[in-house]
């Protein structure tokens, strides 16, 4: 039997770090086939009580443990009116079906869920994940009071906060990532790349891979290499496309999207589109709060020229529309990763929806 903790909670706003940490847990299996037979992925928003019970309680098949990964518990078990740090819309549990009977309060549903955690057998390693916004000190304080963080600590289970690095820490993060990938960035290369990607660790890791591939791992990456392969070479198309969407210019938005896809693979372009809309949403919050460029730079974790552009674009969107767009982007991301719709097709559909 494994002596490692069998219930863990990973939470924070670094989605890339959470995903990478999840991949590490497959090391409990001897090979890929054993992992496939003994791993279950559940989303609290859509699972049924039978799904949950079977995943957690079934015995491992020719292995010492099963691995169960449960995402987004707060979307289902948060009390009405969640505070910052509980993430996900608490109302997502309503109307989604699943294990919560209509007559049962969310408090009771949560009590039952926590009770089931107490009965997770040692033959199951359960990893629970929760994406949370951690933009402000208030967000971080609320995350520390999150109901599942509190319960996990009280019951001596493992809690891991995986937060995006602060802006000033990104050059060090990038240099470390390059070493982890078997290469090196020298001189101002890490700082220059940090200027371009902000605190987006997933995009930073992708750019590091691209740069190391460019030099074929045969020499260190220089600032000149970063400039040559700059992700900002495609940024004007992303900026202009968002401007066109805000103005309802369908043809122009489609043309810019196709040009973006011609210059980069779909997933690289997709990462830039998600990042830009996230920045615009944050900029809209800054605007609504009466803030300006200085406040935007801090809230967005971006360089001044990026913050200025996001503030300008935020004028063209209301906060409800930006929230709708961002949720739609998350749906597309899930659909692309599960093979429901090719990403380039989904992007075309999105542009049509937003300009229709």
CATH code of 50's domain? 3.40.50.300
Q: Which residue has the tokens 């998600």?
A: 274
pTM of the model: 0.63
pLDDT value, residue 99: 45
Report residue 39's pLDDT band, with 50, 70 and 90 as the boundaries.
Answer: very high
pLDDT value, residue 180: 94
Shared domain check, 152 and 13: yes
The arithmetic mean of pLDDT across residues 275-290, rounded, is 90
pLDDT at 58 over 50: yes
CATH code assigned at 350: 1.20.272.10
- Is residue 185 a part of any domain in this protein? yes
Report residue 326's pLDDT band, with 50, 70 and 90 as the boundaries.
Answer: confident
For residue 336, give both structure tokens.
């692309």
d(CA 71, CA 68): 10
pLDDT value, residue 126: 97
- Is residue 2 a part of any domain in this protein? no
pLDDT value, residue 244: 86
Give 225-232's long-range contacts (Cβ < 8 A, gap of 24+): 225/189, 226/185, 226/189, 226/192, 226/193, 226/196, 227/192, 230/196, 231/196, 231/197, 231/203, 231/207, 231/268, 231/272, 232/196
- Is residue 176 a part of any domain in this protein? yes
Kind and range of the H or E run holding 244: helix 235-247
Shared domain check, 154 and 268: no
d(CA 318, CA 286): 13
Final residue of a domain: which of 126, 146, 161? 161
pLDDT at 310 over 50: yes
pLDDT at 123 over 80: yes
Q: Which residue has the tokens 């000033």?
A: 168
Pairwise pLDDT comparison (239 vs 15), residue with the higher score: 15
**What single-letter DSSP state applies at residue 167?**
G
257, 241 Cβ separation under 8 angstroms: yes
State the DSSP string of 56-81: HHSPPSSSS-EEEEEE-THHHHPPSS
For residue 253, give both structure tokens.
């938005």
The arithmetic mean of pLDDT across residues 259-280, rounded, is 78
pLDDT value, residue 3: 54
pLDDT value, residue 219: 96
Pairwise pLDDT comparison (258 vs 183), residue with the higher score: 183
Average pLDDT, the chain: 84
pLDDT value, residue 90: 39
Residue 6, number of CB atoms within 10 A of its CB: 21
Shared domain check, 263 and 221: no
- Is residue 340 a part of any domain in this protein? yes
Shared domain check, 179 and 288: no
Shared domain check, 238 and 144: no
pLDDT at 333 over 90: no
Shared domain check, 133 and 13: yes
Domain hosting residue 77, numbered range? 7-161
- Is residue 127 a part of any domain in this protein? yes
Decide the pairing of beta strands 124-131 and 39-43. Answer: unpaired
Shared domain check, 291 and 270: yes
Report residue 308's pLDDT band, with 50, 70 and 90 as the boundaries.
Answer: confident
Shared domain check, 215 and 351: no
pLDDT value, residue 348: 87
Final residue of a domain: which of 122, 140, 161? 161
pLDDT at 271 over 80: no
What count of residues does the chain have?
A: 356
CATH code assigned at 187: 1.10.8.60
For residue 13, give both structure tokens.
């706003």
Most confident of 118-122, 240-244, 249-253, 349-353: 118-122
Shared domain check, 12 and 142: yes
Final residue of a domain: which of 161, 181, 203? 161
Shared domain check, 19 and 142: yes
The arithmetic mean of pLDDT across residues 276-291, rounded, is 90
- Say how many Å lie between the first and final Cα of the chain, rounded: 57
pLDDT at 136 over 80: no
Give strand ranges (E) for the chain: 7-12, 39-43, 66-71, 124-131, 158-161
Report residue 87's pLDDT band, with 50, 70 and 90 as the boundaries.
Answer: very low
pLDDT value, residue 103: 39
- Is residue 1 a part of any domain in this protein? no
The arithmetic mean of pLDDT across residues 166-187, rounded, is 92
- Is residue 254 a part of any domain in this protein? yes
Pairwise pLDDT comparison (179 vs 101), residue with the higher score: 179
Shared domain check, 117 and 174: no
For residue 241, give both structure tokens.
């496309």
For residue 6, give both structure tokens.
């069998």
Kind and range of the H or E run holding 282: helix 266-288
Shared domain check, 156 and 23: yes
Report helix, strand or coil for 204: helix
- Is residue 14 a part of any domain in this protein? yes
Domain count, the chain: 3
Tens-digit pLDDT profile for residues 198-238: 788 888 898 899 899 999 999 999 998 987 776 555 556 77
């Amino acid at each position: 039997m494994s002596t490692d903790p069998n219930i863990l909670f990973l939470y924070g706003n670094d989605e890339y770090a959470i995903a990478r940490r999840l991949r590490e847990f497959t090391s409990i299996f001897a090979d890929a086939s054993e992992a496939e037979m003994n791993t279950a992925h559940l989303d609290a928003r859509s699972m049924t009580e039978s799904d949950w019970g079977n995943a957690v309680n079934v015995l491992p098949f020719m292995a010492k443990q099963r691995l169960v990964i449960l995402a987004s518990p707060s979307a289902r078990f948060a009390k009405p009116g969640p505070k910052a740090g509980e993430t996900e819309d608490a109302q997502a549990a309503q109307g989604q079906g699943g294990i919560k009977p209509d007559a049962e309060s969310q408090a009771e549903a949560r009590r039952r869920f926590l009770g089931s955690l107490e009965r997770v057998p040692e033959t199951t390693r359960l990893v629970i994940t929760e994406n949370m916004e951690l933009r402000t000190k208030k967000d971080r304080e609320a995350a520390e009071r999150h109901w599942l963080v509190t319960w996990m600590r009280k019951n001596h289970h493992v809690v891991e906060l995986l937060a995006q690095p602060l802006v000033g820490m990104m050059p060090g993060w990038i240099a470390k990532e390059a070493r982890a990938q078997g290469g090196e960035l020298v001189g101002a290369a890490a700082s220059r790349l940090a200027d371009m990607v902000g605190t987006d660790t997933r995009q930073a890791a992708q750019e590091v891979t691209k740069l190391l591939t460019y030099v074929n791992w045969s020499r260190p990456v220089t600032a000149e290499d970063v400039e040559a392969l700059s992700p900002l070479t495609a940024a004007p198309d992303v900026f202009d496309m968002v401007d066109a969407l805000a103005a309802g210019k369908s043809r122009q938005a489609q043309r810019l999207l196709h040009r973006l896809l011609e210059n980069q693979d779909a997933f690289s372009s997709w990462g830039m589109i998600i990042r830009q809309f996230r920045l615009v949403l944050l900029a809209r919050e800054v605007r609504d709060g009466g803030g300006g460029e200085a406040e935007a730079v801090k809230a967005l974790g971006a360089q001044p020229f990026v913050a200025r552009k996001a503030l300008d674009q935020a004028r063209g969107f209301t906060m409800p529309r930006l929230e709708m767009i961002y949720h739609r982007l998350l749906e597309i991301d899930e659909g692309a990763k599960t093979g429901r719709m090719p990403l380039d097709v989904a992007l075309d559909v999105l542009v049509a929806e937003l300009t229709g």
